[in-house]
């Protein structure tokens, strides 16, 4: 299997897009080597990752959840352009024994797995993200022993010509594909009671901003990777007064509008666990979310 993947990687030098079956696109040649993680056996010592997560849970006095979004190649492996004997998930298998760690693949498997991901993007779509949101809010509600309202009154709108990240020229490289877009099913709801802010950690300023639930403010999306910006939402109609801090990567972006509806005060940081931020914000609960391929990075200090 390793030689098969090596040959595949060699033929895709300069590309991060892999063309699969039935027009599905996948990630290849990424820094985390997603395909090697799942389709070649790795003897990974996960003890240091487990210890780090236990330490973080303790720091939050048990009000901590760590959620893992499954990789697209794991959920839709039958569409990969190669045959394999076994699919490996050693890190998730071990850390999910901790009662505060959530393997979100279990939620995918309880539903129709084909509705969760875009064909031409690495990410979950809005429908899949909504299903994940419902599950996470239910767990937060249980953890805090507080009823939290879940968004139920919404419309699903078709947005045509959505171009996923696997169709960006940067990722396609020398590949030629005959298709260029798909329909994105947006979830639209009344968000007039929600105020959106970008908080600049360096300047200690919080700026109000215009926002609609189908289009994240690009200043946050692009500049937050510098770890200086935090996205804050306040819902004046919320029936709770919960304050949540969410550490996340790009998989969380489509869940932000839903969390903003359900929880009174939300702070979103495109970063890993940060004790200083927790001490400053003093949230009722901390949620850390990561896509599965990034778990290898938790072996190192940050």
What DSSP assignment string belongs to 278-294?
HHHH--SEEEEEEEGGG
- b/e 251-273 (16+ beta carbons within 10 angstroms → b): bbbbbbbbbbbbbbbbbbbbbbb
* CA atoms of 29 and 125, how far apart (whole Å): 23
- Weakly modelled stretches of the chain, pLDDT under 50: 208-220, 222-224
Q: Residue 301 has what pLDDT?
A: 61
- Judging by DSSP bridges, how do beta strands 265-269 and 229-235 pair with one another? antiparallel
Q: Residue 78 has what pLDDT?
A: 97
Q: How far is residue 240 from each of residues 145, 261, 262, 274, 279, measured CA to CA in Å?
A: 12, 11, 8, 25, 22
Domain count, the chain: 1
Domain extent, residue 270, equals 2-299
Question: Which stretch of DSSP H or E encloses residue 273?
Answer: none
* CA atoms of 160 and 197, how far apart (whole Å): 29
Give the chain's length. Answer: 302
Q: Which residues contact 188 (CB under 8 A, 6 or more apart)?
A: 154, 155, 156, 157, 213, 214
């Amino acid at each position: 299997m390793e030689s098969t993947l090596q040959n595949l990687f060699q033929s895709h030098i300069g590309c991060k897009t892999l063309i699969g079956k039935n027009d599905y696109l996948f990630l290849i040649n990424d820094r985390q080597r997603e395909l090697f993680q799942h389709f070649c056996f790795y003897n990974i010592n996960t003890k240091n990752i487990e210890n780090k997560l236990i330490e973080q849970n303790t720091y939050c006095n048990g009000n901590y959840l760590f959620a893992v979004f499954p990789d697209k190649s794991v959920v839709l492996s039958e569409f990969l352009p190669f045959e394999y004997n076994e699919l490996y998930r050693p890190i998730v298998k071990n850390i999910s024994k901790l009662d505060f760690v959530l393997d979100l693949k279990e939620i995918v498997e309880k539903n129709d797995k084909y509705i969760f991901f875009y064909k031409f993007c690495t990410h979950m779509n809005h429908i899949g993200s909504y299903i994940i949101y419902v599950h996470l809010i239910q767990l937060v509600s249980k953890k805090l022993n507080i009823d939290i309202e879940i968004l139920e009154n919404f419309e699903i709108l078709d947005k045509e010509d959505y171009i996923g990240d696997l169709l960006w020229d940067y990722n396609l490289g020398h590949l030629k594909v005959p298709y260029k877009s798909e329909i994105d099913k947006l979830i639209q709801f009344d968000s007039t009671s929600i105020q959106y802010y970008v908080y600049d950690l360096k300047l200690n300023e919080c700026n109000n901003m215009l926002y609609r639930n189908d289009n994240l403010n690009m200043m946050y999306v692009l500049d937050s990777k510098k770890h200086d910006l935090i996205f804050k939402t306040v819902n004046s109609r919320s029936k709770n007064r919960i304050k949540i801090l969410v550490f996340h990567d790009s998989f969380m972006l489509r869940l932000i509008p839903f969390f903003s509806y359900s929880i009174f005060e939300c702070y979103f940081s495109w970063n890993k666990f940060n004790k200083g931020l927790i001490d400053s914000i003093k949230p009722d609960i901390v949620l850390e979310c990561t896509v599965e391929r990034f778990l290898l990075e938790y072996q190192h200090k940050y």
